[in-house]
Amino acid sequence: MRRFSWFNATSLTFGFVFLYLPMLILIIYSFNESRLVTVWAGFSTQWYGELFQNKAFLDAAWITIKVAFWSSTLATILGTMAAYIMVRAGRFRGRALFSGMIYAPLVMPEVITGLSLLLFFIALDVNRGILTIVLAHTTFAMCYVSVVVTSRLVSFDEALEEAARDLGCTPFDAFRSVTLPIIMPAVVSGWLLAFTLSLDDLVIATFTSGPASTTLPIKIFSAVRLGVTPEINALSTIMILIVTVGVIIASLISRGVSIRAKADERKAEQS
C-alpha cells in the first residue's frame, strides 16, 4: 500500500474539481425550475420538455448527427487506408514527408484548416452545406483515425497476412478477412473518436457551413451570445451524456478485448 499523502490528495481533488465542477454546475442548473440561470428555484425537467419542442435546436441536432455519422465513417475508411499503406509500404523515398503530411492537420490551428477549406470550396464553387461540413470534418478526423489504427497495425504480425495469401487470398481478400477483423477494435475506437470530434467542432463547421446547415455547436454558440438559457443547459447535458457514453463504449471495447484475451490464456494454460 502507498502511504496516504495530503499533497497527493489535494492535487487530485483540485484537479478533478477544476475539470468537472463547471460541467457539474451546468448539469445541475439544467434541472433548475427558474428561467434565471444562476438562481436555484427547485428541481424540474421542464427545460428538457421545452428543448424537445424547439424545432431549431432539433434540426441543428439532426444535422450534427448526420454530419458526424458520415464524416466519421468516411474518415475511418480513409484513415484506415492511409495507416495501412504507411505501415505496409515499408521504406520508400519521401516516406517521412508523407507520414508527416498525414499527421500535420493534428497540430494545424483549426482556424487555418477552416479558412483554407473555405477558400478551397469557394474556389471550386461548391455551395456550402452539409456536404462541405462532412468533407471538412473528414479531412481532420481522418488524421486521428490514422494515428489510432497505425498504433495497432505496428504490432500486427504480418505473417498472418502472408498465411492468408498462402491459403488462397488475394491481397484485398486477405485484408478483409484477416487484417480488418483483427484490427477492428482500433477501427471502431477511431470511428468513435472521429464521431465525437465532429460532434463538438465549432470552428471548422463555422467556416464551412451554409445558411441551411447550422450544426448544434454553432446554434448553441450563437444562442449563448443572446444569453444563456436553461434550455441550452439541458441540451449541453444531453451532449455530455452522449460523449461520455461514446468514450465509455470505446474504452470498454479495448478493455474487453484485453480482458478476454487474458482469460483465454489462463484457459489455455489449464488445458
Partner 1 sequence: MAQLKPNVFFAPWNDPAEKPLIQFKNVTKRFGESIAINNLTLDIYAQEFFALLGPSGCGKTTLMRMLGGFETPTEGQIFLDGVDIGPFPPNERPVNMMFQSYALFPHLTVWENIAFGLKRSDMPKDQIGDRVGKMLKLTQLEKFAKRKPHQISGGQRQRVALARSLAKAPKLLLLDEPLGALDKKLRNETQFELMDIQESTGTTFVIVTHDQEEAMTVASRVAVMVDGQLVQVATPDQIYEAPTTTYVADFIGDVNLIEGKSSLTDGGMDVHWDDNQPAIHVTTDTPLAARTSCHFAIRPEKVSISSEKPNAVNVMKGKIIDIAYLGNISTYYVEISAGVIFKAQATNNRRLSRRTYTWEDEIYLSWTDTAGVVLTE
Interacting residue ranges for partner 1, rule: CB under 8 A? 157, 159-160, 162-170, 173, 178, 181-182, 261, 264-265, 267-269, 271
Q: Which is nearer to partner 1, 14 or 158 (CB)?
A: 158
Taking the complex as a whole, how short is the minimal distance between the CB of residue 67 and partner 1, in angstroms?
32
Closest to 37 in 3D by CA, of 48, 49, 26? 26
How far is residue 189's CA from residue 195's CA, in Å, rounded to a whole number? Answer: 10
Q: Which is nearer to partner 1, 164 or 220 (CB)?
A: 164
Taking the complex as a whole, how short is the minimal distance between the CB of residue 59 and partner 1, in angstroms?
42
Taking the complex as a whole, how short is the minimal distance between the CB of residue 77 and partner 1, in angstroms?
20
Closest to 164 in 3D by CA, of 153, 154, 177? 177
Taking the complex as a whole, how short is the minimal distance between the CB of residue 91 and partner 1, in angstroms?
10
Contacts of 239 (CB under 8 A, 6+ apart): 199, 200, 216
Q: How deeply is 10 buried, as exposed, middle or buried, from its count of CB atoms within 10 A (0-12, 13-18, 19+)?
A: exposed
Taking the complex as a whole, how short is the minimal distance between the CB of residue 246 and partner 1, in angstroms?
24
φ, ψ for residue 32, nearest 5 deg: -80, 140
Taking the complex as a whole, how short is the minimal distance between the CB of residue 136 and partner 1, in angstroms?
35
Local structure of 207: helix, strand or coil:
helix
Q: How many residues does the chain have?
A: 271
Taking the complex as a whole, how short is the minimal distance between the CB of residue 30 and partner 1, in angstroms?
43
Q: Long-range contacts: 227-232, Cβ < 8 Å, 24+?
A: 228/37, 229/35, 229/37, 229/47, 230/29, 230/30, 230/32, 230/34, 230/35, 230/37, 230/47, 231/47, 231/50, 231/51, 231/54, 231/57
Q: Which residue has cell 487474458?
A: 262
CB atoms within 10 A of CB 225: 8
Q: Which is nearer to partner 1, 100 or 171 (CB)?
A: 171
Taking the complex as a whole, how short is the minimal distance between the CB of residue 156 and partner 1, in angstroms?
11
φ, ψ for residue 227, nearest 5 deg: 115, 140
Q: Which is nearer to partner 1, 125 or 269 (CB)?
A: 269
Q: Which is nearer to partner 1, 2 or 267 (CB)?
A: 267
Q: Which is nearer to partner 1, 37 or 182 (CB)?
A: 182
Q: Which is nearer to partner 1, 8 or 177 (CB)?
A: 177
Q: Which is nearer to partner 1, 8 or 258 (CB)?
A: 258
